Structure 1
Amino acid sequence: MDMHSASNITSRVYPNISDHHMVKYYASSILVLVATTLLAIRVLTKPISNVPLVNPPNFFEVTATRRKLHALTSARSLLSKAYEEFPNKCFRFMAEFAEVVVLPPEFANDIRNDERFDFTGFVRQLIPSQIYGLDAFRGGSHTLKAVVQRDLTKSLSKDYQPALTEWHTLTTRDMVLHLVARVSSRVFLGSELCRNEQWLRVTREYTVASFSSAEQMRLWPAPLRRIASYFHPGCRHAASLLKEARQCMEPVLERRKRERASGNYIPYNDAIEWFEAAAANGDEYDPVFAQLILSAAAIHTTTDLLCQVIGDLAQNPEFIEPLRQESIQSLSEGGWKKTTLYNMKLMDSCIKESQRMKPVSLLAMRRLVTEDVKLPDGTFIPKGSLSAVSSDRMWDATVYENPNKWDGARSFNKRKLEGQENAAQFVTTGPDHLAFGHGKHACPGRFFAANEIKILLVHILLKYDFKLHDRKPVTRRFGLTLGTDVSVKVDVRRRQEEIDLDSF
């Protein structure tokens, strides 16, 4: 059949439609089909929820890439706008890694112990263990939590490094990272590995590499993360550190295995033993990975907060001498005891204020919803959703006077009020201060972190003078994450402490 014959047939079948109109007809049909397909994908993949979405996709936008990148750079402004548009109400927010249902702080008490809100499920979204080099984050969460809750806070060293007699310029993050890694390793693994420079380097570098790589890999679509991670420099470095960690720990593990077999084994009081005891009920765990995760969790959060405290004190030097006097008095009366650290109330207040001003995340109580949930206000959250509670109340002028100003005595003064002695403590959680979460899944390591930071601060304050080198710290913003300034520097000089800290 030639083209002329085909044209005649078409003309007979569609006598009123020209060739030009036929092209437009077919093109329109294809466009309708594509639009219908896109709409079907949108409907089938969108959770059925009555919660408004603050950063919705454009009509023909199938992927969330644009919105995720926008959230990566503008999360705080987007959330602030949402709080104004939906005051005291829930809303959905496309974060840099997934869509999250954001609850107002009023709901913190309602969900704090609700089993349908799963903490571990959300962590898997933040730190996907299928990523190359992040294998240490796979499994063992119940054993880790048991160790932190039962054993960690009972043991703490007052180890600290000798110092410099003249003014020296140091990067705050590097200095604090080294100190926290050494002290944490002393508690976790005793004197042997805490002075093993290879192990200390591995724990420091794995902490930085794992968390930074997780941040970057979350931007990839989930099906591509594993493949992409093999080519990511940070992931490859993390994987090499896992091998080094095993080389460091295997001789220690083998020696203890032989000691147990000898029948004359004397148990150690360290995290190797704690994990063994916690896993006695049959939980599977990798002892090397367990140590790395324990170290990474402790080092990451403690380093971030201690850097923030040092920066805030350097900008508010009028607090330094009162803190020194409080430390001297408390230690002179009680030595290195938990009650001594408890009595350092001004220091406790300064730490809490630094955390209030800059928590590690804009959202708290992050959870995976394991069942359909209906909140008291009628808000429906479907199974499989990610949820979080707004931390915005920590900067709310109706809750905190002059909320954007650092006031180291804020909680110290609040503790003097009737009924506020415990509520204003650094480790106390609640809707007004959600940096540690709240309820059943509140950070179990916060008591250890509080003691560790106080011990390190006592040593720093009494043994050193310090000041900012050339500029103030600037908060690093990466999506929902608020990180410490990794490049800010301090000038540090050794001073003669008023009391011998090693004598207590």
Structure 2
Amino acid sequence: MKNWLQSGYNTYSKNGETFMIPGLLGTTPEVVIPRSQISWMLDQPDHVISTAAAHYDILNGDYSFVDKILLKYPYHEHVVHRSLPRHLAALIPEINEQVRICVDDIYGTDDSQWNKVNIWDCLMRLIPRVTNRMLVGQALCDNPEYIDNMINFTLDVTRDLMVFPMVPTIAKPILGPLAGLTAKYHYHKTAKHSIPLIKQRLHNMQRKGAGDMAFKNWEIPNDYLSWTITTAQAEGRMDELDPVRISQRLLPLNFAAIHTTSITALHVFLDILGYDREQNIIDSLREEVINELNKEPVGQWNKAKLASLHRMDSVIRESMRVNAISQTMLMRKVIAPGGVTNDNTGQHFPQGTMLSCPLWCTQHDKDIFGDGADLYDAFRYSRQREEYDGKTDDEKTSQDGLKIAKMGMVTTSVEHYGFGHGRHACPGRFFVAHELKMLIAYMLLSYDMKSHDKRPDPKCIGKAMIPPTDATMELKRRRSQV
């Protein structure tokens, strides 16, 4: 499939034309849109070309997510889009605290010996807890039964994602509900903890809103539960105030956060360790982290300091570029009854057509990234920023400034869309950026890590790029964080 896509990209995409990849192992065939037409596709209204419909099909929405409405009408995405940017800065101290708690717990504090750990296993224990500090707050993010079953739910969906396309269509109505039983089981295990918390939150927010003096000094927690309650109340969405519905919407949020963030973090650590000897990554990042933490307020992270970690931002963005999690991205489904016609090219796409864009090929294109497009260059982006910052005001141009501003890991474009692009770009990417930066910073300050002789490569299965989940690293607690 990888060679097929590359051939199609070279022959058609680079000439502004579409091409089709077959549906292997029961998956739906895709029409691959060239980079020159991505903006056209993303500009189409949702009732013509739908993101939700594509995700519903890919993630087996009929069976995998407890209730069909969760993916058909992703209200949780609306809440995150609306609320996270406004509340993110205030979340930073809590997330940093949670990172410290989880890292110390999972990697240990023994500074007398080197320990070998499986990177993926550690991240799959860490990322869910940090993510749920933002979703459900401190009271539940460290609850073992809640976290373990939320992780198992994401594994259920991933299993069905890989296996279910191979099931014959005639058998899906029978096998689908059976396959969905494990997801329902793990949901009910999480709901045992989340629903009582949600009911209590609804009660407390209602009493505070009504002016109950007993709640005068009670502060509304800054997490997704509070955001979704506030948003649903403001919009008159009584259906989204149902405690069961709120608890169910935690499922797709956790799936998206745990799955993609853990894979991204795994690749980042493998790149740091695999290329450190050549590029001096660890010392460079550690120096940058110490410099930022020495600024006021000393020893604390805030939005400005995290934004100033240009080298770390470059390390993560470059890792996302080289290690795309899928060969195609920006999945969309044509749902308009009469299909849709691209006025730029005259090409017509019938209803039901699945559209995608060639992520891996684009991010390895030498015409875009130069002769080193296939190579990991940790400071590819920060080096350009540092060169720009070193110029005098007279030497700087507005064009250069604009180019530099677009180099951040959360800035999406038709050449960088691992987080998606356009109005449906991942709403949680700003949280992920802060989460990963604080995690890497604390790891660098708290542990010495041995570089790898060779970076293990991902495996290509169909369109998916499977990360090396058996990779390990050796680390030892540092006696001083300076």
TM range (shorter): 0.7 to 0.9
Q: Specify which of 217, 225, 240 is matched with residue 272 of structure 1.
A: 225
**In structure 2, what is the equivalent of residue 41 of structure 1?**
none
Unaligned runs of 5+ in 1: 1-74, 500-504
Letter in 2 for 1:208: L
Hey, which of these two has a bigger chunk of helix by percent? 2
| Pairing 1:210–2:169 present | no
Alignment of 1:360-439 (within 5 A): 360-371=325-336, 372-375=339-342, 376-391=344-359, 392-401=361-370, 402-415=372-385, 416-417=387-388, 418=400, 419-439=402-422
What TM-score do the two structures reach when normalised by structure 2? Answer: 0.82
Q: 1:497 to 1:187 in 2, by over 3 A?
A: farther
Mapped contact 1:366–1:386 kept (Cα < 8 A): yes
Q: Specify which of 285, 289, 304 is matched with residue 248 of structure 2.
A: 289
Letter in 1 for 2:248: F
Mapped contact 1:350–1:408 kept (Cα < 8 A): yes
Q: 1:143 to 1:177 in 2, by over 3 A?
A: same
Give the % identical residues. Answer: 24
| Pairing 1:99–2:26 present | no
Q: 1:477 to 1:493 in 2, by over 3 A?
A: same
Mapped contact 2:263–2:467 kept (Cα < 8 A): yes
What value does the CA root-mean-square deviation take over the aligned residues? 2.3
Q: Specify which of 431, 448, 473 is matched with residue 448 of structure 1.
A: 431
Distance 1:225 1:118 in 2: 23
How far did residue 136 of structure 1 move?
7.5
Distance 1:179 1:278 in 2: 29
Letter in 1 for 2:318: E
How far did residue 457 of structure 1 move?
0.8
| Pairing 1:249–2:249 present | no
The 10-residue stretch of structure 1 (459-468 or 98-107) with the greater mean CA deviation from structure 2: 459-468
Distance 1:394 1:149 in 2: 26
Secondary structure, aligned partner of 2:146 = helix
Alignment of 1:304-323 (within 5 A): 304-317=263-276, 318-323=280-285
**In structure 2, what is the equivalent of residue 332 of structure 1?**
294
Letter in 1 for 2:42: R
Mapped contact 2:32–2:357 kept (Cα < 8 A): yes
Mapped contact 1:184–1:298 kept (Cα < 8 A): yes
How far did residue 326 of structure 1 move?
0.4
Letter in 2 for 1:207: T
Mapped contact 1:362–1:481 kept (Cα < 8 A): yes
Mapped contact 1:187–1:270 kept (Cα < 8 A): yes
Secondary structure, aligned partner of 2:476 = strand
**In structure 1, what is the equivalent of residue 396 of structure 2?**
none
Distance 1:136 1:458 in 2: 40
Letter in 2 for 1:426: M
Q: Specify which of 110, 117, 122 is matched with residue 40 of structure 2.
A: 110
Letter in 1 for 2:366: A
Mapped contact 1:393–1:432 kept (Cα < 8 A): yes
How far did residue 102 of structure 1 move?
0.5
| Pairing 1:354–2:319 present | yes
How far did residue 169 of structure 1 move?
1.6
Distance 2:225 2:467 in 1: 30
The 10-residue stretch of structure 1 (105-114 or 414-423) with the greater mean CA deviation from structure 2: 414-423
- Which digits, 9 at most, give the CA deviation of each residue in 1:295-321, with x for residues without a partner? 221111111101000000011121001
How far did residue 497 of structure 1 move?
4.2
Mapped contact 2:268–2:315 kept (Cα < 8 A): yes
Secondary structure, aligned partner of 1:420 = helix
Q: 1:348 to 1:283 in 2, by over 3 A?
A: farther
Distance 1:383 1:405 in 2: 40
Q: 1:288 to 1:223 in 2, by over 3 A?
A: farther
Distance 1:190 1:384 in 2: 40
The 10-residue stretch of structure 1 (344-353 or 285-294) with the greater mean CA deviation from structure 2: 285-294
Q: Specify which of 473, 477, 480 is matched with residue 494 of structure 1.
A: 477
Q: 1:104 to 1:224 in 2, by over 3 A?
A: same
Distance 1:326 1:146 in 2: 35
The 10-residue stretch of structure 1 (236-245 or 220-229) with the greater mean CA deviation from structure 2: 220-229
Mapped contact 1:132–1:226 kept (Cα < 8 A): no
Q: Specify which of 106, 109, 114 is matched with residue 167 of structure 1.
A: 114
Mapped contact 1:90–1:379 kept (Cα < 8 A): no
How far did residue 261 of structure 1 move?
6.2
Secondary structure, aligned partner of 2:295 = helix
Q: 1:82 to 1:173 in 2, by over 3 A?
A: same
Unaligned runs of 5+ in 2: 389-399
Letter in 2 for 1:394: Q
**In structure 1, what is the equivalent of residue 397 of structure 2?**
none
Mapped contact 2:150–2:187 kept (Cα < 8 A): no
Alignment of 1:129-148 (within 5 A): 129-131=61-63, 134-135=66-67, 138-139=70-71, 141-148=73-80
